Amino acid sequence: MRCKKCNARLAAHDIWCMSCGSQSPIVKTELSAMASLRASYEKLQGKWSEYVPVSSIAIILGLIPIMGLLYILNFVISLDNTSDIQYLLNLIVKSILFGIFVPMVLLPFSKIGNHRDYSLILGSVADFIKPYGRYLIFSLINALYFVLIHIICFGLPGFASDPILRLVWIVLLNYWVAIVLPVPVLMEHKQINPLRAILLSYRHFHDLRWNIYLLALVLVGLNALAFILAVFPLLFTLPLSYFAIRDYTLKLIDYQLLEHRIV
């Protein structure tokens, strides 16, 4: 393989040309997030019924409580106050409440993150929820991040922020999604804690951040549409999401991204 700009020879896994710095074609070919998603979808054909038990638990114990909390905290109970301390405490309480249920949506990664087949069997419920603690820590790290950027970009009742920071909040939120999407797979594949997995993703997957974000955007839209359509389609879109994220993350690992971009 050669660089299209300077014709220098490229190694099979080169993301950038070492001569001129141009991006390698593999970013849009072999490392295409959409191509990886289509490949994952094709591998799941004929296996959908196997995934129903795990998806059902993720929906019943994860997504439905999260949606219920969103409704209750926004339309039934108001936790907003004029006191800065109370406002901050309310933000923390909201984040912890959501953080309790988010791991139930992520637990299937503990079953598939460390292998490459397309089996996702429930087994015993006790075995399924055994990794809950690690995913709770991951969830609370995310919650802390969201609290921090909310305070910085929206201010407190007694300390306003610049309106331009509302746009900064959108950027920070979306960039964080692109960072943490591969983290559950890294946790399982490398057998590391959530914080270290987040740092690995941040340091090493920078070159493919847009590809990761595109995958996240498509999967969020797909699952949101499935939830709107009476929840039932989530039994199929959730497994697709798990395997699509797993497959793309492992592909990035196969292309030796964890051995580069250390700084």
> 61-74: per-residue pLDDT in tens?
999 999 888 888 77
For the stretch 183-221, pLDDT in tens is: 999 999 999 999 999 999 999 998 899 999 999 999 999
pLDDT of residue 159: 64
Q: What percent of the chain has pLDDT over 90?
A: 52
pLDDT given at position 26 = 77
- DSSP string over 167-196: HHHHHHHHHHHHHHTTHHHHHHHHT--HHH
For residue 24, give the nearest of 35, 34, 12 by alpha carbon: 12
The token duo for 134 is: 């690690």
In this prediction, residue 216 carries a pLDDT of: 96
Q: What is the pTM of this model?
A: 0.89
pLDDT value, residue 40: 95
Arithmetic mean of pLDDT, 55-84: 79
Expressed in percent and rounded to 5, the helix, strand and coil fractions of the chain are 70, 0, 30
Partners of residue 260 on adjacent β-strands: none
CA-to-CA dists, residue 204 to 12, 173, 192, 199, 248, angstroms: 18, 19, 15, 8, 14
Over pLDDT 70: what percentage of the chain?
A: 85
Average pLDDT, the chain: 86
Tell me the pLDDT tens digit for each residue of 239-253.
999 999 999 999 999
pLDDT tens digits along 6-55: 656 666 666 666 666 566 777 788 889 999 999 999 999 989 999 999 99
Which position has the higher pLDDT, 256 or 177? 177
